[in-house]
């Protein structure tokens, strides 16, 4: 089955700096890669996603890049704010369709 690895496990940045979280996956058949943000005590919420036919996608301060050849994708958050502090999970779908496997999570702390 699919194996998703995520790094780093913890990340601290100063407010206004950029944060980058990286994930790799093992199943070359994976085609859809969502990112979720989970605040303390709350449910995971989708923040951005990308399909395998696209190399990059951006939504305001958040962007995701995908290198399908190397089987890795990354989340980029620019101009970080304290409210960006949360645990972020990457995920990849897996054949035979729409099973999702998650990375181990990155705890991001934005220091005011």
Partner 1 sequence: EADIYQTPRYLVIGTGKKITLECSQTMGHDKMYWYQQDPGMELHLIHYSYGVNSTEKGDLSSESTVSRIRTEHFPLTLESARPSHTSQYLCASSETAYSPLHFGNGTRLTVT
Query: Which positions lie near partner 1, rule CB under 8 A?
Result: 1, 31-32, 34, 36, 38, 40, 42-46, 49, 51, 87, 89, 91, 93, 97-105, 107
Question: Computed from CA positions of residues 98, 94, 100, 19, in that sequence, does the dihedral angle turn out positive or negative?
Answer: negative
The upper half-sphere exposure of residue 25, i.e. CA atoms within 13 Å in the direction of its Cβ, equals 28
**Rounded to the nearest whole angstrom, what is the least distance from the CB of residue 13 to partner 1 in the complex?**
18
- Strand ranges for the chain from DSSP E: 4-7, 10-14, 19-25, 32-38, 45-51, 56-59, 62-67, 72-77, 86-94, 99-102, 106-111
**Rounded to the nearest whole angstrom, what is the least distance from the CB of residue 79 to partner 1 in the complex?**
24
Give whichever of 79 and 104 is closer to partner 1, judged by the CB atom: 104
Give whichever of 16 and 95 is closer to partner 1, judged by the CB atom: 95
Give whichever of 12 and 79 is closer to partner 1, judged by the CB atom: 12
**Rounded to the nearest whole angstrom, what is the least distance from the CB of residue 17 to partner 1 in the complex?**
22
Give whichever of 78 and 107 is closer to partner 1, judged by the CB atom: 107
Tally of CB atoms within 10 A around 6 = 20
């Amino acid at each position: 089955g699919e194996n998703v690895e995520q790094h780093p496990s913890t990340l601290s940045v100063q407010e206004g700096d950029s944060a980058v979280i990286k994930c790799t996956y093992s199943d070359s058949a994976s085609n859809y890669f969502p990112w979720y943000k989970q605040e303390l005590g709350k449910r995971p919420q989708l923040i951005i996603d990308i399909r395998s036919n696209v190399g990059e996608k951006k939504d305001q301060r958040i962007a995701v890049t995908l290198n399908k050849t190397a089987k890795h994708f990354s989340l980029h958050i620019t101009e970080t704010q304290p409210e960006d502090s949360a645990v972020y999970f990457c995920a990849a779908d897996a054949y035979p369709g729409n099973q999702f496997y998650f990375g181990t999570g990155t705890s991001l702390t934005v220091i005011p």
